[in-house]
Structure 1
């Protein structure tokens, strides 16, 4: 019977798992692409990845009408396999895995792109990814203040209250709050820009994670034009990142996450730094493997006592 471990990795552990595979030499540019299949309810995504030790595949559903039914927009499962034998090892909640790994990717990037004293986060969105990003960024940066910008007042106020309960000065704001931000994170379903990119100060680092479609974006061309640009992989971004494709960004302007983590990417301090994430299968594999190993270690300790 397959192990079905709960996803209880901490945000810090998830960030470390991603960092470790990049420091060990994983090339994001060589990672297999995601397969997307339109279906009546929305979209089915197939995301395979493999390393020497593990292989895995996530089957995810994106159902835009689900929130109106009181259901999660993202559904799915993750099957983790033994690398040498391809024997199934574990089945994980795919939506929970996405909610954990996406903020961890952002945190890994922004830890290197943010100014050391980054304290004020302006967060667009108030869904599961917004909570996940807040927790992940609190784990790696010295946050002191949160401004929530969201379409619905109730969820925005709830997220602000959650942040207050964790020691941050938090409030609900408007898009022009980016003018006072050290960090701006967009995790929404928006298809058009959320704020005026000219307002973002040069000290700020910005991340957008809400879309993997060439026709959708959360930031405008003004921000993209004046920013240093970073992506998980150039190949993936140039297939799926509307934030970069719509303004016509060339590959030569993009540094990837491996280059950022390994210290070969230039990180200027005189202009905004923008990280665009579309989500990649190697990230799911790294976090799923770390969760499985944590579960296995606990099981071994329990059996030996």
Structure 2
């Protein structure tokens, strides 16, 4: 069994290859049972570890299991609070093939899923995007979007301006023209693509700021207690999700459904439906689109299969 580190995962999953790999697997389908949530109590009375177990398999080919361990007590130990691993198996024999860095798999497939959605939903001629957030997923978004849109200019806003400056320097070295925004409302008003990757629990982006014809990408809210966008972001917009699981997990959608600002019946479709041509994406230049993702093990499987192919 191979052990594959984060750098190797990154080299094996350039977005020019990872985005099409996601599209292909969403179109063909995979078996994805509900994720398991386990609680590992600390006998000494410290903070419990929450472990998420996500699995998916492509019958007759590969079977992947991702384990994400979230340990709030690690801050006091001087350790990162999140650790993830992906174990890829042969789906026929059950033989373990490779143990992969799960953090790298997760961040890269998450950014790629947003880019995949944008290939159908974002304005085709969009050359500039606004990134809200400065974490590991946010750092990958311009490169991911450049695989599907001619992105040249990036504006970044973060609660900590120094974190935004670090990202700006990194992106400039990648060939982007970058501006660090201090006024998020003004930046959003002038952006055709707004991509949010934060851990916010209250709205950061307001619908009143969004321009007609813009595309809003919401990544960070993956529990009912989290939110990046207010109700107005959904009112009058065309909304798609990665999977229908978002309708029961994302505070982003639960809140506007509860207030009546948006109805689940108005959902335009999922990534699988878009990939299969069962529904269509953007239909008008002035249409305001929203994509909400919560993540799925199918994406982990697609990325792991790509890494395995590169590893030979």
TM-score (normalised: structure 2): 0.87
Aligned length: 292
Match of 1:182 among 192, 196, 217: 192
Structure 1 spans left out of the alignment, 5+ residues: 297-305
Distance change in 2, residues 1:86/1:104 (3 Å): same
2:44 match: none
Equivalent residue for 1:171?
A: 179
In 1: Cα distance, 2:79 partner to 2:264 partner: 38
User: Bigger CA drift: 160-169 or 80-89?
Assistant: 160-169
Quick check: 2:134–2:158 contact (8 Å CA) kept in 1? yes
Q: Which runs of 5+ in 2 are unaligned?
A: 41-46
Q: Secondary structure, in 3 states, of the residue corresponding to 1:13?
A: helix
- Name the CA distance, whole Å, in 1 between partners of 2:80 and 2:277: 37
Q: Which moved more, 1:135-144 or 1:244-253?
A: 244-253
Say if 1:158 and 1:271 are closer, same or farther in 2 by CA, change over 3 A.
same
Is the 1:201–1:271 Cα contact (8 Å) retained in structure 2? Answer: no
1:21 aligns with 2:25: yes
Using the TM superposition, give the Cα deviation of residue 168 of structure 1 relative to its aligned residue in structure 2, in angstroms: 2.0
Which residue of 269, 278, 285 maps to 2:301? 285
CA-to-partner distance for each residue in 1:42-62, whole Å, 9 max, x for gaps? 532110111111111100023
**Cα distance change, pair 67–162 in 1 and its aligned pair in 2 (3 A):** farther
Q: 1:1-305 to 2 correspondence within 5 Å?
A: 1-4=1-4, 6-7=8-9, 8=11, 9-23=13-27, 25-26=28-29, 31-38=32-39, 40-41=47-48, 43-52=50-59, 53-63=61-71, 72-173=80-181, 174-176=183-185, 177-234=187-244, 236-248=245-257, 249-254=262-267, 255-266=269-280, 267-269=282-284, 270-296=286-312
| Partner secondary structure for residue 235 of structure 2 | helix
- SS of 1:212's equivalent? coil
1:65 deviation in Å? 6.6
Residues of 2 paired with 1:47 and 1:26: CA distance?
16
Partner deviation per Cα, 1:111-144 (whole Å, 9 max, x = no partner): 1111111112110111111111122112221112
Distance apart, 1:239 and its partner CA:
2.2
1:36 Cα offset (Å)? 2.2
Quote the Cα distance in structure 2 between the aligned partners of 1:125 and 1:43: 24
CA contact (8 A) 2:24 2:275 kept: no
